[in-house]
Amino acid sequence: MSGELQNRLQQLGFFKGECDGIYGKKTAAAVRSFQKKKKQPVTGRVVDATWQALGEGCEHPVSNPADKPPENVSVLVDLEKLTLTVMEGDLLFKQYPVAAGKPSTPSPIGEWKIISKEFDWGGAFGARWMGLNVPWGNYGIHGTNRPWSIGSSVSAGCIRMFNEDVVQVFEWAPVGTKVKIKAPLTWLAGSGNRTLKKGDCGPDVVYLQLLLKETGFNPYYCDGWYGALTELTVRTYQLHTGLPISGQVDEKTRHHLEEKAGVFETQNQ
């Protein structure tokens, strides 16, 4: 949070130096200078009114409402393009800019579902919240009081939208809506070195499932859970490639999958 604050204060000319994410004396002094400029109480504490003032100039025009709400809705988030697309069946219905996770706290690549919806959390979560069923953390799609961050990879892993945009998506996407968060396969390379087996979960399991899809061995749903279907798919892959049939993914099997999927070749280009 402090890093984003420093970045915004730097954009506005109130902070000089390295944006190190530490709320030290220089940051507090910059906040006080900003508050003085905006005729706010000069406290050095960043309250809701301060965040609101920091967002001035980043207002997002309200998107034109659709003639009709979409049917058969799904959501596609592209972490490389930093866009969220509402799909109607196989067709693009509407696309929005987003902010996503920074490298140290990446957004969860994979295939998820909306499992909860909340109104007006406010603050950093903005006007709406849509929670996702990611098994290793609390992730969601939400609004923001930091509109200047849209179009950047700066969040703690959630997908941020302009408040005006998330309100629209919230109305169209019921609980149960599928949400695919995608990125180039190489982004997950090296995400884990443990031997994977039935019962495991995590980003490294998503990476395995994506590798299996890329090589034509489809585990159906890249949900981060090493379940019975993923185990069966691994066994099938091992059988067809002459690897020991264990149903587990050790370093040898993982490297074999990466070579077949062209991950190494892509990385070296």
Active-site residues: which are they? 142, 158
Residue labelled with tokens 């920091």: 54
Straight-line distance from the first to the last Cα atom of the chain, in angstroms, rounded to the nearest whole number: 35
Q: Which long-range contacts (CB under 8 A, 24 or more apart) does 248-253 make?
A: 248/195, 248/196, 248/197, 249/195, 249/196, 249/197, 249/208, 250/195, 251/193, 251/195
Helix (H), strand (E), coil (C) string for 37-90: HCCCCCCCCCCHHHHHHHCCCCCCCCCCCCCCCCCCEEEEEECCCCEEEEEECC
Per the CB < 8 A criterion, the answer to whether 27 and 50 are in contact is no
The total of other beta-carbon atoms located within 10 Å of residue 62's CB is 12
d(CA 232, CA 228): 6
Q: How far apart are CA 98 and CA 100, in angstroms?
A: 7
Cβ atoms 111, 182 nearer than 8 A: no
Of 93, 108, 97, nearest to 162 by C-alpha is: 97
